[in-house]
Amino acid sequence: MLRKIGEYRYVVPKSFRAGMNIEGLIYADDELVKAIEKDQTMMQVANVATLPGLVGRSLAMPDAHQGYGFAIGGVAASDLKTGVVSAGGVGFDINCGVRLLASPFRLEQVQKQLDPLLNQMFRDIPCGTGKSGIIGNLSYDELEKVLEEGAHWAVKSGYGFAADLDHIEETGRIAGANPAKVSQRAKQRGRDQLGTLGSGNHFAEIQYVAEVFDAETAKAFGLWMDQIVVLIHTGSRGLGHQVCTDYLDIMQLGMKKYGIQIVDRQLACVPVSSQEGQDYLAAMGAAANFAFANRQMISHWVREAFHRVMGEGRLNVVYDVAHNIAKIEEHKIDGGRRNVLVHRKGATRAFPRHRPDIPKDYFEVGQPVLIPGSMGTCSYVLVGTEQAMEETFGSTCHGAGRAKSRHAAKKEITADRLISDLKAKGIHVRGASKSGLTEENPNAYKDVSLVVDVVHNAGISRKVAKLVPIGVIKG
């Protein structure tokens, strides 16, 4: 059914299933496409292509795997007048994303203090299911400021520096976010979780720059060989999950109102221009702002831990990107330029140089793209490209991509064995629970290097540096 159109591209033709309005396109090599064919990813790419008012192609990145409605690793763009917005096209963890901090310390300096540093971070950063933050319950008035201002609220509240904001997607504040469109239940779930890592695949990792592929771009990003960096991966916690849950119900009802028929109820959607669609985008923006503030506060506590253990030396924000979001952006469509709503679900924005949307100090090189690996494997820094703007609405992969269920992963290894195996590789681990560690063992994921090689060779992002972990905190 798939039609190969090059070494790293596979077309899902309109004939794949009835009702497809546009083609699908999957980025993969021969090995990764076999993994993609094992679950419902291809069908989900095709299902998305049946939605009204989409432009371009229904896309899947090489880390794609079956998700709720949309495949995780899926990208789709909607016309603002005729198209739809789908909560499943963003996902439950709104603005799950990653932030990279660059330290002034070398690998050999931190290795001598690794256990005390990791212990300090584990004490300072709350992690695990349902864990409350250090600041406790926010008042609802204060929470509404977080939902409206995002990382700007955190900086104003003493968590970080104004310069941090320049290196966050959308400066850490989504315009049009409206706390009034977030339910009381969602606010209740989130008000004690600000500044927490959470569970699942979320982590904070101490890593070092093990390889540089593009010296000029790495220098622009402030990265150098054997440098210690910290990668933070978390999102909007229970608040974002509840926003998605609430609006899936609203969209189910809205489809009857607007006469929309879909092939999978998980693709519940409403017109972008409808009141329900605008309400969702306003609530989603508020949840995204919560996530930006969350990563900003965790960054503050990482900095404090380094200061206590390593002494003077500031950790700078390289960049912070969202993986689960829908945003109105200008793209080239059918030979002209117009605004469309780009859904990225498990996909990273990858804008090239000379875009006004990226920091001034990266203007001549392009936007940093952060691709986390799984626990115990490497991560990558890439940079956005013009090819991505031409083909993928400026998008690329977001990680390794899950290859096994959490249930299957837990059966493969004990937590004690996993910790021992990782320590033998020079990777020290702290986890909130043993089951959380085994669910996230590295064998549960695809090979992140294969995934990154596909997007690099396909030209939709370019490798800059390889990061290897030495210390891991897991929820």
**Rounded Cα gap, residues 36 and 79, in angstroms:** 28
Query: Could you give the dihedral angle defined by the CA atoms of residues 80, 83, 85 and 91, in that order, rounded to the nearest 10 degrees?
Result: -120
**Rounded Cα gap, residues 157 and 108, in angstroms:** 34
Per the structure block, which two tokens stand in for 307?
């200061």
pLDDT at residue number 298: 97
Per the structure block, which two tokens stand in for 384?
């956005």
pLDDT at residue number 418: 86
pLDDT at residue number 200: 80
What's the mean pLDDT in 56-62? 98
Please check whether residue 430 is in contact with residue 474, taking contact to mean a CB–CB distance below 8 angstroms.
yes
* Beta pairing class for 428-431 and 462-474: parallel
Render pLDDT for 368-415 as a digit per residue (tens, 0 to 9).
Answer: 999 999 888 999 999 999 999 999 999 999 998 877 677 777 777 888
Q: Reduce the DSSP state of residue 386 to 3 states and report it.
A: helix
233 an active-site residue? no
Of the listed ranges 64-68, 204-208, 332-336, the least confidently predicted one is 332-336
Please check whether residue 348 is in contact with residue 398, taking contact to mean a CB–CB distance below 8 angstroms.
yes
Q: Is the four-CA dihedral 174, 179, 182, 184 of positive or negative sign? A: positive
Strand blocks (E) in 159-222: 203-212
User: pLDDT category, 131, cuts 50, 70, 90?
Assistant: low
Please tell me which residue in 398, 407, 428, 456 is annotated as part of the active site.
Answer: 398
Strand blocks (E) in 163-278: 203-212, 227-234, 269-271
Render pLDDT for 272-305 as a digit per residue (tens, 0 to 9).
Answer: 999 999 999 999 999 999 999 999 999 999 999 9
Render pLDDT for 160-182 as a digit per residue (tens, 0 to 9).
Answer: 999 999 999 999 999 999 999 99
User: pLDDT category, 475, cuts 50, 70, 90?
Assistant: confident
1 pLDDT more than 80: no
**Rounded Cα gap, residues 96 and 416, in angstroms:** 28
Number of Cβ atoms within 10 Å of the Cβ of 168: 23
466 pLDDT more than 80: yes
Residue 78's domain spans which residues? 3-474
Q: Residue 25 maps to which CATH number?
A: 3.90.1860.10
With a CB cutoff of 8 Å and minimum separation 6, the contacts of 436 are 128, 129, 199, 200, 474, 475
Q: Reduce the DSSP state of residue 443 to 3 states and report it.
A: helix
pLDDT at residue number 376: 82
**Rounded Cα gap, residues 175 and 65, in angstroms:** 30
DSSP string, 270-322: EETTSHHHHHHHHHHHHHHHHHHHHHHHHHHHHHHHHHHHH-S-PPEEEEEEE
Looking up tokens 């929820």 gives 475
Better pLDDT: 336 or 127: 336
User: pLDDT category, 261, cuts 50, 70, 90?
Assistant: very high
230 pLDDT more than 70: yes
> Average model confidence (pLDDT) for the chain?
94
Looking up tokens 């998605």 gives 244
325 pLDDT more than 90: yes
Render pLDDT for 416-456 as a digit per residue (tens, 0 to 9).
Answer: 888 888 888 889 998 877 777 887 787 778 899 999 999 99
With a CB cutoff of 8 Å and minimum separation 6, the contacts of 257 are none
132 pLDDT more than 90: no
Domain count for the chain, please give it.
1
Burial class (CB in 10 A: 0-12, 13-18, 19+), 40: middle
DSSP state of 379: E
DSSP lists the bridge partners of residue 329 as: 340
* Beta pairing class for 9-12 and 3-4: antiparallel
pLDDT at residue number 464: 98
Among 159, 446, 438, CA closest to 317: 159
Looking up tokens 């929309």 gives 260
Q: Reduce the DSSP state of residue 420 to 3 states and report it.
A: helix
Among 22, 58, 32, 65, CA closest to 457: 32
Q: How many residues does the chain have?
A: 475
